[in-house]
């Protein structure tokens, strides 16, 4: 059975290392039972898999994605019928150009292996790319969404360009057409603006780092009235990929100097375009945006000057006409003062009459109220009530004293009666109370006592403990011990 099992798993006479080791110990006899340990069996299967499945591409949908603190990625790769466990270790996962998510359709390059602790077949993934969509486009969309959520694209953080910049730092390739177009347009618009070229690679793997370094240098050398332009000519999506670098985007966002992004053509968009303070469709458009056209300013200045002269002359003319109109309507100041004095006298007389009428009305209203108040003076009522209160107080004290004396007399009478009925008073006249020392019950009959019992005798001034020596009942003979 063992030969049949391994001939089906390992055709063409290829034997795993564990079986070869077993055969070196002793030859296998016909119909002999060969017992394999689980570890050796899985090791043999692993050797066979490593021979026939060294590296392969596997297509499937991602599900059950887990990313623990170790940095490894664990997920399941499945199709309509089957599934296989997959793992991507931290080093390979960190180099993915996109974020792995559940539901993605992937092409995974890796090796088939067995996880011996559980005996599970798994795929060790070395690299992955989206199936049916470029990894760069997916990485672009994911980075754009993440930075947008962080607020790097918000208009609130955009800085305004200076109207008349002193220097313009342009970060681009010295050999590119972008620099030539920018400088040519800038010189035609204003030769007074200084242009500082910051050389940097704008294509290839090192381009993003090169542009970031040039941006840092330009920032350090810039002043309060300067501008930085990042420029590059058109190209494919892959050619413009360095300008989608996350570190470059964050460097642009944190730069205190206004930045204009002029990358590619009008239809090309990069992450740098969204983060920059302004975006120009081309390097030529960037020059037109940053550098003012002095010829246009001069023409506009002349037009504004002419319009200002016309406005000032018209304003002076209107002021003169208004002044002439006011001059014709001015009256003699003494006549105005006399008129105002007469008006003041009339108003004073009216005020005095009005106040007199008000005072008379209040006096007529107050007098009846004062008479009525005097008739109902509270002090009189208080005096009468006070006298009544004094009489009631004297009566109350006399009545209370009489009740107290009656109660005292009743108490003395009750105390005398209680004393005459007190058992102690009876005992003081020679009587006593006899009780059993054993049960404490009072003895009233001789029949309840036997000779030798202990009894207590309660007297007026104490208690006697006695022993019964003899009992003498009425009409019977004595009982003695």
In-domain check, residue 38: yes
Query: Does any domain span residue 31?
Result: yes
Arithmetic mean of pLDDT, 395-415: 89
Q: Is the pLDDT assigned to residue 378 strictly greater than 90?
A: no
More confident residue, 136 or 57: 57
User: Do 211 and 288 belong together in one domain?
Assistant: yes
Q: Residue 480 pLDDT > 70, yes or no?
A: no
Please tell me the predicted confidence (pLDDT) of residue 135: 63
Low-confidence winner among 198-202, 226-230, 441-445 (lowest mean pLDDT): 441-445
Domain finish residue from 68, 99, 132: 132
pLDDT-derived band at 6, boundaries 50, 70, 90: very low
In a domain, 363, yes or no: yes
Which domain range does residue 347 map to?
Answer: 331-374
Compute how many other C-beta atoms are within 10 angstroms of the C-beta atom of residue 209: 15
Enter the pTM of the model. 0.44
DSSP label at residue 442: B
Least confidently predicted of 121-130, 206-215, 219-228: 121-130
Query: Do residue 339 and residue 264 come from a single domain?
Result: no
Q: Is the pLDDT of residue 12 over 90?
A: no
| Mean pLDDT of all residues in 365-378 | 80
The whole-number pLDDT of residue 249 equals 92
Are 120 and 17 in a shared domain?
yes
Point out the least confidently predicted range of 11-20, 127-136, 173-182, 228-237: 11-20
Q: What is the mean pLDDT of the chain?
A: 83
Q: What is the rounded distance in angstroms from the CA atom of residue 352 to the CA atom of residue 357?
A: 9
pLDDT digits (tens, 9 = 90+) for 167-215: 999 999 998 888 999 999 989 888 888 999 999 999 888 899 999 999 9
DSSP H helical segments within 376-475, as ranges? 378-420, 423-427
> Within a domain: residue 316?
no
Domain count, the chain: 5
The answer on 341 and 228 residing in a single domain is no
Type and span of the H or E element at 231? strand 226-232
| 117 and 177, same domain (yes or no) | no
Percentage of the chain modeled with pLDDT above 70: 90
User: What sign does the dihedral 399-402-403-404 (CA atoms) show?
Assistant: positive
Top-ranked range on mean pLDDT: pick from 27-31, 156-160, 292-296, 420-424: 156-160
Is 323 part of any domain? no
d(CA 441, CA 418): 25
Three-class DSSP category at 226: strand
Q: What is the DSSP string of 37-67?
A: -HHHHHHHHHHHHHHH-SSEEEEEEEEEEE-
Q: What's residue 32's pLDDT?
A: 67
Mean pLDDT, residues 2-19 taken together: 45
CATH number (domain holding residue 145): 3.40.50.261
Is there a domain that residue 314 lies in?
no
Residues 158 and 193 in one domain: yes
Please tell me whether residues 245 and 363 are part of one structural domain: no
pLDDT at 226: 93
Residue 322, both tokens = 């208004």
**Strand duo 120-130 + 167-172: pairing:** unpaired
Structure confidence at residue 31 (pLDDT): 57
Of 132, 150, 181, which closes a domain?
132
In a domain, 312, yes or no: no
Clarify whether residues 90 and 7 are in a common domain: yes
Same domain, 29 and 59: yes
Same domain, 50 and 15: yes
Burial class (CB in 10 A: 0-12, 13-18, 19+), 40: middle
Residues 151 and 142: their CA atoms lie apart, in Å, by 14
My answer on whether 446 and 396 are in the same domain is no
Residue 325 inside a domain? The answer is: no
Q: For the segment 38-97, what is each residue's pLDDT rounded down to a tens digit?
A: 888 878 887 777 777 778 889 888 999 998 888 899 999 998 888 999 999 998 888 887
Q: Are residues 11 and 98 in the same domain?
A: yes
**Which of these three, 292, 321, 341, is where a domain ends?**
292
Cβ–Cβ < 8 Å for 288, 185: yes
Q: Which residue has the higher pLDDT, 241 or 425?
A: 241
**Which CA distances in Å does 4 have to 10, 34, 261, 364, 445?**
10, 12, 70, 137, 118
Residue 75 sits in a domain whose CATH number is: 2.40.50.140
- In terms of Cβ atoms closer than 10 Å to its own Cβ (0-12, 13-18, 19+), residue 397 is exposed
Tens-digit pLDDT profile for residues 246-268: 899 999 999 999 999 998 777 77
């Amino acid at each position: 059975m063992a030969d049949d099992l391994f001939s089906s798993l390992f055709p063409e006479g290829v034997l795993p290392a564990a079986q070869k080791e077993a055969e070196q110990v002793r030859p296998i006899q016909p119909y002999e039972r060969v017992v394999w340990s689980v570890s050796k069996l899985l090791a043999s299967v692993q050797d066979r898999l490593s021979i026939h499945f060294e590296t392969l591409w596997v297509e499937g949908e991602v599900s059950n994605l887990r990313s623990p603190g170790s940095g490894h990625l664990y997920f399941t790769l499945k199709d309509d019928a089957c599934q296989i466990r997959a793992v991507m270790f931290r080093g390979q996962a960190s180099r993915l150009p996109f974020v792995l998510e559940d539901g993605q359709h992937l092409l995974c390059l890796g090796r088939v292996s067995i996880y011996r602790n559980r005996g599970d077949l798994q795929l060790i993934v070395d690299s992955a790319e989206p199936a049916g969509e470029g990894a760069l486009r997916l990485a672009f969309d994911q980075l754009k969404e993440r930075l947008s959520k962080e607020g790097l694209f918000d208009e609130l953080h955009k800085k305004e360009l200076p109207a008349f910049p002193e220097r313009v730092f342009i970060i681009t390739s010295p050999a590119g057409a972008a620099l030539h177009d920018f400088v040519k347009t800038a010189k035609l618009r204003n030769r007074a603006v200084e242009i500082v070229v910051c050389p940097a690679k704008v294509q290839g793997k090192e381009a993003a780092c090169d542009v970031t370094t040039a941006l840092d240098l330009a920032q350090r050398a810039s002043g309060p009235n300067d501008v930085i332009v990042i420029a590059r000519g058109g190209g494919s999506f892959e050619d413009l990929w360095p300008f989608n670098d996350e570190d470059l985007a964050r460097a642009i966002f944190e730069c205190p100097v206004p930045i204009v992004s002029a990358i590619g053509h009008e239809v090309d968009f990069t992450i740098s375009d969204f983060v920059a303070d302004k975006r120009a469709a081309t390097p030529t458009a960037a020059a037109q945006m940053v550098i003012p056209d002095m010829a246009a300013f001069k023409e506009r200045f002349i037009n504004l000057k002419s319009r200002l002269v016309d406005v000032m002359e018209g304003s002076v003319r209107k002021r003169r006409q208004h002044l002439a109109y006011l001059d014709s309507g001015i009256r003699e100041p003494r006549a105005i003062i006399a008129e105002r004095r007469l008006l003041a006298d009339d108003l004073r007389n009216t005020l005095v009459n009005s106040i007199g009428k008000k005072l008379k009305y209040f006096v007529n209203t107050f007098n009846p109220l004062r008479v009525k108040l005097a008739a109902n003076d509270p002090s009189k009522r208080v005096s009468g009530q006070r006298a009544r209160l004094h009489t009631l107080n004297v009566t109350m004290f006399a009545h209370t004293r009489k009740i107290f004396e009656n109660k005292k007399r009743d108490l003395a009478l009750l105390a005398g009666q209680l004393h005459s009925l007190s058992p102690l008073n009876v005992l003081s006249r020679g009587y006593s109370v006899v009780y059993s020392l054993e049960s404490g019950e009072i003895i009233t009959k001789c029949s309840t006592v036997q000779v030798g019992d202990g009894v207590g005798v309660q007297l007026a001034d104490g208690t006697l403990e006695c022993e019964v020596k003899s009992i003498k009942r009425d009409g019977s003979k004595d009982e003695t011990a």
